[in-house]
Structure 1
Amino acid sequence: MTSDTTTDEIADDLKALRRAAVLLATLAIFVIAYFARDLILPILLGFLLALTLSPLNRTLQRLGLPAAITATFLIIATSVGIVSVVYFAGGTVAAWSEDAPNIGRQLKNKLSGVNDAIEAVQDASDEVEQMTSSASSGPQEVVVQQPGLLNSAVTAAASTATSIVVALILALFLLASGDLFYVKLVQTFKSLSGKKRALGAVYDIERRVSGYLLTITAINACLGVTVALALWMLGLEYAYIWGIAAFLLNYLPILGGIIGTALVAAYSIITFDSLSYALIAPIAYQALTSVEAQFVTPYLIGKRMELNMVAVFLTVVLWGWLWGIAGALVAVPFLLVFKVICENFEGLETIGNFLGGADKTDIADEPAANSVSG
């Protein structure tokens, strides 16, 4: 009896140590990801880009073209697309950034009624703060001057450009190597069952991630064209810029549509004289993104690539906090990869099932099953 009790206690202690080790390892991964963002982000982008283009790369290879040629062609085409977006939108966005104070003043004048109420509250808060500061005789506050908006924008642009270039080069090497990376991965497993499971998981990840990203890219492109046409018909200037913005922001689930609507609303208010007419543009933008999110994307993505929206939101918030906008953009593909890994390895199926979308058939059958069992 004593030996059995001792064995159970040892087993419980081992489980507790294992859980503590997993928790510490998870925390260490997030700490490393936070401080090594500039190193990890371009590598992650390169792998995601290679996964996305792998089916196209194999299709071109079936035509008899070498892997190096097809990989170079795909990376050049991707680079041309990125450069085209920067060329058509970069100048206008840079001009808007430089003119941000003037745009803010115009928006403030258009919303003078709302601003009066806000300023009244702010003045009252400032008076209370002045009374408090005059009553106290603490040490003087040292204010550190932050870098200007232009310097911050230049630094962010240089960092983004560097990450994109590194990601493109890494994707080129991965695509040009063909199946060499998969072969090396399979060789790390000793048993035949392990090799089969690893190879099946890798191809499943490739198929579903590439299918998701290619489908989302096509949907976003159609949404961008539709938004640009709708805003152009309403008479909003630079409608093509807002179409490009809709294309890019739609990679950011949930928050992308809200940000785009707010930006279109601000620019529409300073463009049109009538406030009621100015609100038509953001309403149209929000309506188009809502139709896309509620009907088009679920229909085209399919059940196997659906994700739990709670998990998506939490993942976007987490990686947005860790890596900013770039982290929020790669959050969903990262979550999809993690979901596929969980579905292909024993012991992780429960997590994969939780990350998946709702199975409406099972939900519909649950009351009937409960009534039968009762």
Structure 2
Amino acid sequence: MSASFAGRGMFKNKTKVDLELQQLLDREPEQPYRSVLDLMVAWSIIGMFIIATSVVIYLLEPILMPVTLAIVVGMVLGRAADQLSRFGLPPGAGGLFLGLIFAVGLFLLTNALIEPVSNLFAAAPAMVEHSVERVMPFLNRFEWARHVIAGADEKAISDLAMANAGAVLGALAAGLTPALIQALIFLAALGLFLLGRTHLRKTIIMALVTRERRLTAIRIMNATENAVGFYFSTASLIYLALGTITGLIAFVGGLSVAPLWGVFAFISSFIPYLGVTAMTIALMSAGLMTHDSVLLALAPAAGFFLLHLVMENLVTPAILGRRLEINPFLIFIAIIFWTWMWGAVGAMLAMPLSLIAMTIFNEVRSHPPERQLPG
């Protein structure tokens, strides 16, 4: 009796196990659906996070933009201050010394550009009117342009151009006060960052728990500062040569205020794609307003474009390409995004921010964190 009872119990347990296995097998077809649903939920959360972050970046532009610019510049100057520490100068004092030199140089450059830029803005309406008068005969050579001009009043076009020029000048004047406030925020943030850079690094490193994470943080910080410092120091020398040659091209081409064109060429070169386009169009417009001959008018713009083409495709890749390789499409997308967010300063920050993101990604990918089993 006991044996038969035990056999029945085993039979019942086996039947129960078989039923549970059958239920698990029946649930297997639902797994792909649930996996896709979980993936959609995860990407939706990521998408909402990206949208919310973009909104915050856009709304906090008056504060985030100068602070971000100060951090990028501070990384470059801080790396240079580390080199000065070999001569017995503390990194904090060396950073402040370099920051003071940078601020004084920026002040002197701004002071030197105020008068020619003010004269340029004052003469902008007359230059626009003169350029319209010069461009109209050139456009009349084309059939499609004649039909367009025939249906429009030349005086109305000139008045519209001058009205828009006035609106542009008004917008620039209205944005002068916020720009000064952001400049003060930038200088204050730069000084404080350089002063507390070493302490900030130690605080971030010691905030991590394990030794492996601390080593990873040190490696990422050093790699990021090295990449940004190498890019700015090398690119500055290349673009300084480009700006000097551009000033000579403007002088030989008969354009007024030739040194100013060199400065604009130096600054615009830090904005990939958009900088060379704007500079070429500006030189072309200035040439058309200066010379009667079309060939002489287009010569400065053509010379600058060929020079920039040689610099960007031969000189820069030969020097920077060995250490810094970034997908041009990603750079283009970054320029569009940061220009939309922060305007011209955002366009200048697109390259260093992309370089920082790429460096962090490469360091994390080449040294993945070790997975520890739960105890």
Per the alignment, residue 127 of structure 2 pairs with: 103
Provide, for residues 138-186 of structure 1, a one-character-per-residue CA deviation record: whole Å limited to 9, x for no partner.
xxxxxxx999444321232333332233222212212222421111111
Q: Which amino acid aligns with 1:293?
A: E
| C-alpha distance 276-223 of structure 1, shift in aligned 2 (>3 A) | same
Provide, for residues 106-142 of structure 1, a one-character-per-residue CA deviation record: whole Å limited to 9, x for no partner.
112222224446474266489xxxxxxxxxxxxxxxx
Please, which of 170, 182, 188 is the counterpart of residue 207 of structure 2? 188
Query: Is 1:172 the equivalent of 2:199?
Result: no
| C-alpha distance 31-178 of structure 1, shift in aligned 2 (>3 A) | closer
Q: Indicate the SS of the match to 1:303.
A: coil
For residues 191 and 2 of structure 1, the distance between their equivalents in structure 2, rounded to whole angstroms, comes to 44
| C-alpha distance 181-266 of structure 1, shift in aligned 2 (>3 A) | same
Per the alignment, residue 76 of structure 1 pairs with: 100
Query: Is 1:223 the equivalent of 2:250?
Result: no
For residues 274 and 12 of structure 1, the distance between their equivalents in structure 2, rounded to whole angstroms, comes to 66
For residues 366 and 152 of structure 2, the distance between their equivalents in structure 1, rounded to whole angstroms, comes to 55
Question: Which residues in structure 2 correspond to 1:1-374 (within 5 Å)?
Answer: 1-2=25-26, 11-116=35-140, 118=145, 120-121=147-148, 124=151, 148-346=167-365
Contact 2:254 2:290 in 1 (8 A): no
| C-alpha distance 2-182 of structure 1, shift in aligned 2 (>3 A) | farther
**Structure number, greater radius of gyration:** 2
> Gapped runs of 5+ residues in structure 1?
127-144, 350-374
Provide, for residues 22-50 of structure 1, a one-character-per-residue CA deviation record: whole Å limited to 9, x for no partner.
11111111111112111110111011011
| C-alpha distance 348-330 of structure 1, shift in aligned 2 (>3 A) | farther
Contact 1:57 1:175 in 2 (8 A): no
Q: Which amino acid aligns with 1:196?
A: L
Contact 1:89 1:244 in 2 (8 A): no
For residues 229 and 195 of structure 1, the distance between their equivalents in structure 2, rounded to whole angstroms, comes to 51
Q: Indicate the SS of the match to 1:236.
A: coil
Q: Which amino acid aligns with 1:24?
A: M
**Structure 1 residue ranges, 4+ long, deviating more than 3 angstroms after superposition:** 2-15, 114-120, 122-126, 145-151, 346-349
Q: Which amino acid aligns with 1:121?
A: V
Q: Which amino acid aligns with 1:74?
A: L
Per the alignment, residue 364 of structure 1 pairs with: none
The percentage of aligned residue pairs carrying the same residue is 21
For residues 232 and 44 of structure 2, the distance between their equivalents in structure 1, rounded to whole angstroms, comes to 36
| C-alpha distance 103-226 of structure 1, shift in aligned 2 (>3 A) | same
For residues 229 and 105 of structure 2, the distance between their equivalents in structure 1, rounded to whole angstroms, comes to 18
- Return the offset for 1:4: 5.0
For residues 108 and 147 of structure 1, the distance between their equivalents in structure 2, rounded to whole angstroms, comes to 15
Q: Which amino acid aligns with 1:109?
A: E
- Return the offset for 1:197: 1.0
Cα RMSD (Å) of the superposition? 2.5
For residues 203 and 53 of structure 1, the distance between their equivalents in structure 2, rounded to whole angstroms, comes to 14
Provide, for residues 282-325 of structure 1, a one-character-per-residue CA deviation record: whole Å limited to 9, x for no partner.
11111111111111111111333121111111111121122211
Q: Which amino acid aligns with 1:220?
A: Y
Aligned residues: 331
Contact 1:85 1:244 in 2 (8 A): no
